[in-house]
Structure 1
Amino acid sequence: MKIALDEKEIEVGENALIFDVLKENLSGKKFKTCIAAKINGETLLDLSQTVPAHTTAITPVTADSEEGLQILRHSVSHIMAQAVQKLFPNTKVTIGPSIENGFYYDFDAERPFTPADFENIEKEMHAIAERNLPFERSVMSKNDAIEFFKKKGELYKAEIISEIEADTVSLYKQGDFIDLCRGPHIPNTSFAKAFKLMSVAGAYWRGDEKNPMLSRIYGTAFADEKELKTYLNRLEEAKKRDHRKLGKELGLFTFYDDVAPGMAFWLPKGMMLRTILEDFLRREHLKRGYELVQGPQIMRKELWEKSGHYDHYRQNMYFTEIENAVHGVKPMNCVGHLLMYNNSLHSYKELPVRMFELGLVHRHEMSGALHGLLRVRQFTQDDAHIICTPEQLEDEIINIMNFSADLMALFGFSYKLFISTRPKDSIGTDEAWELSTQALIQAVKKEGKEYQINEGDGAFYGPKIDIKVTDAIGREWQLSTIQVDFNLPERFQIEYVGQDGERHRPVMVHRAILGSLERFIGVLTEHYTGAFPTWLAPVQARILNVTDAQLDFTREAVKKLQAAGIRVEADTRNEKLGFKVREAQLAKIPFILVIGDKEVEEGGVNIRLRTGENLGLQSLDETIKTIRDDNDKPFKTGGMSYSFA
């Protein structure tokens, strides 16, 4: 066979091993980093397997690639299971997949595992790695495999195999440990050089509370120690930035899970932060030709049936009954916007219609999935729906991308674009989906943006562009989304009168820039470590008096700064100045203004920053200008502004 490998064409004999092919045709350094191979750009195989017939290309897979990391982590989960069974011989194994950033394995153990067990398990894992045990693949008939695992007492494995719709299954063995697995795996255990066990949790077998509770051990693995250390350092940094911890320390928000799980209670400073953000968003949307609207919170079930939400989304919705009629609490704002568009007949001259709503929505999330502001049941979307002609669609998508880019730059995020295509559970015709998907791709290409295809991850009614941002410590967050929809306009029979005097069907674009305000504020809190830029800070300045002798001037200074639109408060407690300065820094107040006898005499304040930098004595007018200039700094470019009240 003639096969493409590493940008050259080679000849491969019948029944050749992938291992031998790569060894003969790659440099020694490159070959040593290979842990698997991809055949024809699709199928991942072990190096120990033969080159399949009809192979046209072989791509080496290294441990530091995305696919290689998944293979490595899955292999390390097997090594962990082997170590656990050696140290705890009566433990039964269940499943152990790779996951984002790591892996886990669920065990039926005589007692739940704890972090205190990690040291011994990791020590045994390293011993296994040092033995260079090969991962050996074998194939067994389904019935023989069931009997094999039953004899070993591994009833969970036997149960899994009994439900596999195939005549044969593959097993992987390293040393004396054998496991049911599809593979592929690393060539041998010595490739597991850098791993760490992270945490334990309880997990019901197959997620059913009627089944036994298992002990789940989470871990992570990387291609080398440097990458592992970088990841662990990032986790430590993430702990410092945890928005739940900072939200409590800064008095932004709280949760009462006993009365309203998954729903935030916004405290005064947090509500001020939200209000600043919401007011800013409203102004920016008005400048870009959007109109402000608001729809009701609950609407009759029949409406959600018409939209398709009831069939495709009802498991995530809340319902209530009013006068014997079932109503759904809205999980999205699009249906209300469609009804408002249909309130009158539109001419092509009026399009596009851009409706913007800071819409409060409710979606059911499992209690175990709730996570501070990042995963909630009640949230507010910066939601908009654009209804336009097909000819206007490309420009509208580009305008949204530019709007999103402006806002991401303002907050200091870099970003990537992903185009998510039709999922299995969807509505609409093939033609509509093709038109929608191509519209997104062409708009992105026209702007010269790089993008990746995210197969099958679109909304049930249309494809979408997802914009993922990278924060200050390198984590990715999905924020903005742009969704093209030919289906809901058809279902709701929305129309416009064209230039020809006939009625036509418009296109609908669903979009959110920040996404959920709750989630965005959570992300932003961690991005800034709670030290919000001056324009967003709930309190921009705190005035500290040294003694009671400066109280009158302190009150005068507060009034003057407030009159200038600055969010200011005073700390006039009878405490030492150093203590009050430290508390203001911990509260991450941008400007700390100290008033002593000298400042009263000069009619000014001594300015300190939360970073510890001292700007010295300035008059009140100069102080106002200093704060204003810092407030305006992020808006010097991009056409956006945040003005004082």
Structure 2
Amino acid sequence: MAVTRFKFLSTFSRQFCTNSNAHVVQQTRLRIEEIRAKRLSIFDKELKRQQALIPRLEKIEVTYEGLDNETTTLVMNKGVSTPYNCAQHISEHVVKNSVAAEINGEIWDFHRPIPSDCTLKLLSMKPEDQHQASLVNKTFWRSCSFLLGAVVEGSFQDEISVSLHSFPPANVRSGSFVYDVQLSLDDWVPSQSDLRQISASFQKFVRQNHSFQRLDIDSSVALKMFEDNAFKAEQIPHIATKSSSGQTVTVYRVGDHIDISRGPMIASTSLVGRCLLTAVHKLDSRIYRFQGIALPSEIYINHFALGIIEARARKLNPARIPELKSN
């Protein structure tokens, strides 16, 4: 897949675009492309390696539980078939409206392979069960944080360095989803034009209908993948110790962007409707908290109601401020 670029130039960064440093700008742009291309190469190589470890296809039985407790037994391929593949056997409507899955009671990525016989439920953005609704909301919010990081990382294309730090656990009650980012700017205050331009890039990205592709990798592979980001490299050993194996890290790919998250994530960016960057707050040590809001693609509200939500999302999100050991 070709590398997608976000061509946002803030009013703050534009003042540095002079003939005297044009060669520096070009080098920075190539650097961004090289970093993303390297991560994609490692991701694809590791995915192929893991797929080659499957010696032969084994069949499993997936019991799909639909509306009114109707069940359908599907014979699928162990470690290869995903909830998406199961949905393809049911209906186009189910494929289009499924946000995530539930495997034996555990929320599951729509494009994550199924490892064994199981009971499957496919979740939409409007599940009747309140517990499922809470899980779906958190999955949607978490995915939006991930996408915000993708957009911000590609938004500053001049000499300004951008290092994604992390995003806090999804908390719908906070009023905004968040990504904390280090910029090589001491006191940047984005204008309304800046916010609108990043929002436009955000909207354009989600409309490209990218799937969320999950991959569990060894921590050594993760360290190689994120060796250009001091924060991620610092976080990876700790993240790995919390995995079931004690040495793996989960990454997701969306388009040309790869990042770390335990997930799960929504099926694709097409499930995100109206999305906005509402505020950027300076935290500390050049760390900026980017905050946004989004609506599921099937949910519409009037401008007045959206304005109330947007106003709330401008306030500093109270999520824990990240620890900074690397600068």
Match of residue 29 from structure 2: none
Of residues 235, 256, 270, the one that matches 1:190 is 270
Residues 215, 252 of structure 2: 8 Å contact kept: yes
Give the C-alpha shift of residue 74 in structure 1.
1.8
- 1:61-76 equivalences in 2 (<5 Å): 61-64=123-126, 65-76=133-144
Distance 1:175 1:19 in 2: 18
- AA aligned to 1:8 is E
Q: Is the partner of 1:196 in helix, strand or coil?
A: strand
Question: Tell me, what secondary structure is at the counterpart of 1:87?
Answer: coil
The match for 2:152 is 84
1:124 corresponds in structure 2 to 201
The 1:45/1:118 distance shift into structure 2, 3 A limit, reads same
The letter of the residue matching 2:222 is A
Could you tell me which residue of structure 2 aligns to residue 3 of structure 1?
A: 63
Rg (Cα) greater in structure: 1
1:114 aligns with 2:176: no
1:105 and 2:179 matched = yes
User: How far does the alpha carbon of each residue in 1:221-255 deviate from its partner, in whole angstroms, 9 at most, with x for none?
Assistant: 2213514857524448989xxxxxxxxxxxxxxxx
Give 2:100's aligned residue: 36
Instruction: Go from structure 1 to structure 2 and tell me whether the alpha carbon gap of 1:29 and 1:231 turns closer, same or farther (over 3 Å shift).
Output: farther
Map of 1:18 onto structure 2: 83
TM-score (ref. length: structure 1): 0.33
Over the aligned positions, Cα root-mean-square deviation in angstroms equals 2.7
1:266-285 equivalence runs, <5 A: none
Partner of 2:253: 173
Going from structure 1 to structure 2, the CA distance change for 1:194 and 1:63 (only over 3 Å counts) comes to farther
| Structure 2 Cα separation of the partners of residues 72 and 229 of structure 1 | 22
1:34 offset after TM fit, Å? 0.7
Superposed, 1:231-630 pairs within 5 Å as 231-235=305-309
AA partner of residue 218 (structure 1) = Q
1:56-113 residue CA offsets vs partner (Å, 9 max, x unmatched): x222222344322322222222222222121214210011243224310000012245
Distance of 2:208 and 2:104 partners within structure 1: 33
Correspondence 1:58 to 2:120:
yes
Separation (CA, whole Å) in 2 of partners of 1:127 and 1:238 = 24
Partner of 1:623: none
CA distance in 2, matches of 1:108, 1:236: 24
- Number of residues paired by the alignment? 229
Cα distance between partner residues in 2 of 1:72 and 1:99: 11
86, 90, 96: which one aligns with 2:167: 96
**Quick one: structure 1 residues 174 and 4, their matched pair in 2 at CA, closer, same or farther if it must change by over 3 Å?**
closer
Please give the secondary structure, in 1, of the residue aligned with 2:99: strand
1:148 paired to 2:211 = no
- For the residues of structure 1 that align with 2:205 and 2:254, how far apart are their CA atoms? 9
Partners in 1 of 2:165 and 2:102 — Cα distance? 28
Q: What is the deviation of 1:122? A: 0.9
Report 1:205-216 matches (<5 A). Answer: 212-216=285-289
Structure 1 residues 228 and 217 mapped into 2: Cα distance closer, same or farther (>3 Å)? farther
Contact 2:163-2:229 within 8 A present in 1 as well? yes
Q: Compute the TM-score of the two structures, normalised by the length of structure 2.
A: 0.63
SS of the aligned residue for 1:193 comes to strand
Is the alpha carbon distance of 1:115 and 1:190 closer, same or farther for their aligned partners in structure 2, counting shifts above 3 Å? farther
SS in 1 for 2:267: coil
CA distance in 1 between counterparts of 2:237 and 2:62 reads 40
Q: Distance in 1 between matches of 2:207 and 2:291?
A: 22
- CA distance in structure 1 between the partners assigned to 2:202 and 2:311 by the alignment: 27
Partner of 2:31: none
Name the CA shift for 1:172/1:231 in 2 (closer, same or farther; >3 Å).
Answer: farther
Matches of 1:39 and 1:126 in 2, distance apart? 31
Per the alignment, residue 292 of structure 2 pairs with: 219
1:45 alignment partner, one of 72, 84, 108: 108
Contact 2:104–2:120 at 8 Å: present in 1 too?
A: yes
**Which residue in the other structure is 1:555 paired with?**
none
**How far 1:36 sits from its partner (Å)?**
0.7
Question: 1:94 is paired with a residue of what secondary structure?
Answer: strand
In 2: Cα distance, 1:94 partner to 1:226 partner: 32
Per the alignment, do residues 183 and 229 of structure 1 end up closer, same or farther by CA in structure 2, a change over 3 Å counting? farther
1:109 corresponds to which letter in structure 2?
Answer: L
The SS at the match of 1:74 is: helix
| Alpha-carbon distance, 1:213 to partner | 4.3
Could you list the per-position Cα deviations for residues 446-504 of structure 1 after superposition, in whole angstroms to 9, with x for gaps in the alignment? xxxxxxxxxxxxxxxxxxxxxxxxxxxxxxxxxxxxxxxxxxxxxxxxxxxxxxxxxxx
1:133-159 CA deviation, whole Å, 9 max, x = no partner?
Answer: 222222221122112211xx2111111
How far apart, in 2, do the equivalents of 1:136 and 1:237 lie?
33
SS in 2 for 1:49: coil
Letter in 2 for 1:198: T
CA contact (8 A) 1:103 1:218 kept: yes
Matched with 1:162 is 237
CA separation in 2, counterparts of 1:222 and 1:178? 23
> Is the 2:162–2:184 contact (alpha carbons within 8 Å) kept by the matching residues of 1?
yes
Contact residue 136 and residue 172 of structure 1 kept, 8 A = yes
Per-residue CA distance 1:385-438 (angstroms, 9 max, x = gap)? xxxxxxxxxxxxxxxxxxxxxxxxxxxxxxxxxxxxxxxxxxxxxxxxxxxxxx
Instruction: Report the AA paired with residue 99 of structure 1.
Output: N
How big is the shift at 1:45?
A: 1.4
Residue identity opposite 2:190 in structure 1: T
Paired AA for residue 87 in structure 2: L
CA distance in 2, matches of 1:162, 1:139: 14
Q: Distance in 1 between matches of 2:154 and 2:252?
A: 17
Q: Quick one: which amino acid aligns to residue 63 of structure 2?
A: I
Q: Which amino acid aligns with 1:44?
A: I
CA contact (8 A) 2:100 2:266 kept: yes
1:217 counterpart SS class? strand
Partner secondary structure for residue 197 of structure 2: helix
Question: Structure 1 86/113 Cα, relative in aligned 2: closer, same or farther at 3 Å?
Answer: farther
**Structure 2, unaligned stretches of length 5 or more?**
1-60, 127-132, 319-327
Residues 4 and 134 of structure 1, relative CA distance in 2, 3 Å threshold: closer
Q: State the alpha-carbon separation in 2 of the partners of residues 189 and 91 from structure 1.
A: 23
Read off the aligned partner of 2:296 and give its amino acid letter: A
State the one-letter code of the partner of 1:40.
N
Q: Is the 8 A contact 2:182 2:287 kept in 1?
A: yes
